[in-house]
C-alpha cells in the first residue's frame, strides 16, 4: 500500500508510522471535543507524511480542490 522508503526519502517504519498516526488521532480527538488544535504545523506535517507514503500530495490535492467546480442539481419535487 505504501511506496518504498527510497522513493519517500524517509524511513516509514512502525515507530514513525505509530507516532505519526498518534498525532493525527490526538488532533481528531481534540476537534471532536471542540478544542483548538495546539500545533497545527505538526498536524499538517503528520498528514503530509501519511499522504506522501500513499503517493498523494497535499499540495496537488489542494490545487485540484481549488480548481473543482460544483454544479447545483435543480430541485424536482415541489414544496408542500
In the predicted model, is pLDDT for residue 8 greater than 80? no
Are residues 41 and 21 in contact, defined by beta-carbon separation less than 8 angstroms? Answer: no
Identify the DSSP state of 33.
Answer: T
Q: Is the pLDDT of residue 12 over 80?
A: no
Q: What is the pLDDT of residue 25?
A: 96
* Lowest mean per-residue pLDDT among 2-6, 26-30, 59-63: 2-6
Closest to 9 in 3D by CA, of 62, 57, 63: 57
> Which has more confidence, 3 or 38?
38
Structure pTM? Answer: 0.64
**60 vs 11, 19, 41, 56, 57, CA distance in Å?**
22, 25, 18, 8, 5
The mean predicted confidence, pLDDT, of the chain is 87
Band of residue 16 on the pLDDT scale cut at 50, 70, 90: confident
The residues spanned by each domain of the chain are: 8-60
The contacts of residue 11 (CB under 8 Å, 6+ apart) are: 5
Q: Which three cell numbers stand for residue 45?
A: 506535517
Amino acid at each position: 500500500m505504501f511506496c518504498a522508503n527510497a522513493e519517500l526519502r524517509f524511513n516509514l517504519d512502525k515507530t514513525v508510522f505509530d507516532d505519526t498516526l498518534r498525532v493525527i488521532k490526538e488532533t481528531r480527538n481534540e476537534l471532536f471535543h471542540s478544542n483548538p488544535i495546539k500545533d497545527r504545523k505538526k498536524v499538517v506535517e503528520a498528514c503530509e507524511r501519511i499522504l506522501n507514503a500513499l503517493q498523494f500530495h497535499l499540495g496537488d490535492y489542494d490545487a485540484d480542490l481549488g480548481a473543482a467546480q460544483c454544479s447545483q442539481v435543480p430541485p424536482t419535487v415541489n414544496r408542500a
